[in-house]
Amino acid sequence: MTIQWQLRSDKIAVLSLNRPQVLNALSFEILQQFGQAITDISQSEARGLVVVGAGDKAFCAGADIPELMDRALMQQLEGAALGQQVFRALNELKIPSVAVIQGYAFGGGLELALACTFRVATTRAKMGLPEVKLGLIPGYGGTQRLPRLIGEGHALDMILSGRTVAAEEALRLGLINRLVDTESPEEAGCEFLAPIVQHSNLATFFARQAVQRGMQTSLERGLDIERDLSTLAYQTTDAREGMLAFTEKRPAQFQDK
């Protein structure tokens, strides 16, 4: 299997793209394996997900270009739909996820990272959406998630030029959440998630939903979404435990219920 994942003792799942000989490029078979792994992780006891690429040269260099050539129109449409479906499943996981970018994250590789809740990059990371250089455009969510993350102007600059963005600029743009100097992407990702996964997964999921759904609509409608999800959060066992623990001056013991 070229997609591998394991659940650590701290209940953080680590998913690895394991094709270092081709810079972890995304073939359609790899996308299907990735989608199945996301399904399996969603049904596990994982409280967070770290996505890494094998080797030290690339997180994921993008699509498997030779596989994209000479395909019929419907095959191209189905291929884009597959990529979007898999990355949507990643984006909609009920647990937070972080992509740890070491080396290259181009095209579909950056789109994969954009579908995660967070992105951490090492100092050697390079990112971009170079599809325009091939006479193409991003097809796995890049034209939609990138502008929502860094703004329309910066996103169009990257997409229309196809240029490469270094880690320091990515941090300034808000493309990544943290810049790290490490030889262990897995540990960097787990360290990033550690203060998040200690909280109620229900609370963090509701908070993510409020932000993400609110970003797609007006402020007025966003406030309605926040009100409803906040009210729903009060009904959980974890909310009762959290407030009781606060009054008793002890750490809360959340059960994700």
The domain limits of the chain are 3-197, 201-247
Q: Do residues 2 and 33 touch, judged by C-beta distance below 8 A?
A: yes
Cα–Cα distance for residue pair 244/232, rounded to 1 Å = 18
In terms of DSSP H, where are the helices of the chain?
28-42, 65-68, 73-91, 108-115, 142-150, 152-161, 167-173, 185-197, 201-214, 219-234, 237-247
Cα–Cα distance for residue pair 97/234, rounded to 1 Å = 24
Q: Do residues 165 and 70 touch, judged by C-beta distance below 8 A?
A: no
- Check 45, 92, 111, 169 and give the catalytic one: 111
Based on the residue annotation, tell me whether 131 is a catalytic residue of this protein: yes
Q: Do residues 245 and 251 touch, judged by C-beta distance below 8 A?
A: yes
Q: What DSSP state is assigned to residue 29? A: H
What pLDDT, on a 0 to 100 scale, did the predictor assign at position 65? Answer: 82
User: What's the pTM?
Assistant: 0.93
Other beta carbons less than 10 A from residue 71's beta carbon: 12
Q: Do residues 171 and 120 touch, judged by C-beta distance below 8 A?
A: no
CATH architecture of 201-247: Orthogonal Bundle (1.10)
What pLDDT, on a 0 to 100 scale, did the predictor assign at position 64? Answer: 80
What pLDDT, on a 0 to 100 scale, did the predictor assign at position 228? Answer: 96
Residues of the chain under the 70 pLDDT cut: 1
Based on the residue annotation, tell me whether 111 is a catalytic residue of this protein: yes
Q: Match domain 3-197 to its CATH number in 3.40.1710.10, 1.10.3720.10, 3.40.50.720, 3.90.226.10.
A: 3.90.226.10
- Check 45, 131, 152, 187 and give the catalytic one: 131
